[in-house]
Structure 1
Amino acid sequence: MNSTAIWIVVAAAVVLLILVVLVAITGMRRRRRQRQAEEIREEARQATAQVERREALAQETAAKARAAQAEAEAKAAEAARLQDRAANHQSEVAESREQLQEQWKRADELHPEATAEPAGEHDDPNVARSTRPHDAEAVQRETYRGTPG
């Protein structure tokens, strides 16, 4: 064999060796990229599960907030209703006190000496009293109404 043929065979062997190395390197790169892609996918799966848990927690918290808001609105409505009711009661009390004052005044005008209280004491709107304090029988009838006595 001549030297040119040997050089051609050596060159072909080197080219073949280079091709084998390139194919091997390409395969290793592909496998490494595949592993990286799998790792990224696994991380994405874990992150997805975590995001779904956080989303469920957010929805649960939002539902609790809506329920608390509804409860607060119901309580506010109840408070407003009770305030209206209290205002109505206060108005009725004021009217009743005015009527009682008129009644006391009328009684004093009819017969001023008949009053058992010192003058002006029945003017206090914060004192509760019967219109007939000296009538014990009427009080007893009122107390025991409907019971045999």
Structure 2
Amino acid sequence: MTDVLLCVGNSMMGDDGAGPLLAEKCQANPQGEWVVIDGGSAPENDVVAIRELKPRRLLVVDATDMGLNPGEIRIIDPDDIAEMFMMTTHNMPLNYLIDQLRDDVGEVIFLGIQPDIVGFYYPMTDPIKQAVETVYQRLAGWQDHGGFAQLEAPEPE
């Protein structure tokens, strides 16, 4: 069974480049048996390729504003993405992408990295580079949620 790592983000937008940096690291020196796809800022363009792979699990990694300290990493329940109005820089909200793939993928895991600065031509900050390295190191022995904590959804008002 195949495991797919979908890295999402725009490397020209500072910390939003976390996903592409992870893809670059994995392509240079693979960790584990992951099929790595750099989805860039339009990951919806990769839906057909992911479906054809029929992965056992899909790990989506993206810089996501979760209201945490820069570089903090959390597993986000895909069902919470829309409800929490998570800000991303992508053409399509990631919950739509995940909904499109749910029937073709055994398990979808969404991993968010809290960015600090997202803006054109800003360099990536050190906390985000360190977070990408942490994720990269955990890929080889990935089990369950890779040892990352679940993001707590806010209580409904």
Higher strand share: 2
Do these two structures clear the TM 0.5 threshold for a shared fold by scoring above it? no
TM-score, normalised via structure 2 length: 0.22
With structure 1 as the length reference, what TM-score do the two structures score? Answer: 0.22
Please say which structure displays the higher CA radius of gyration: 1
* Higher helix fraction (1 or 2): 1
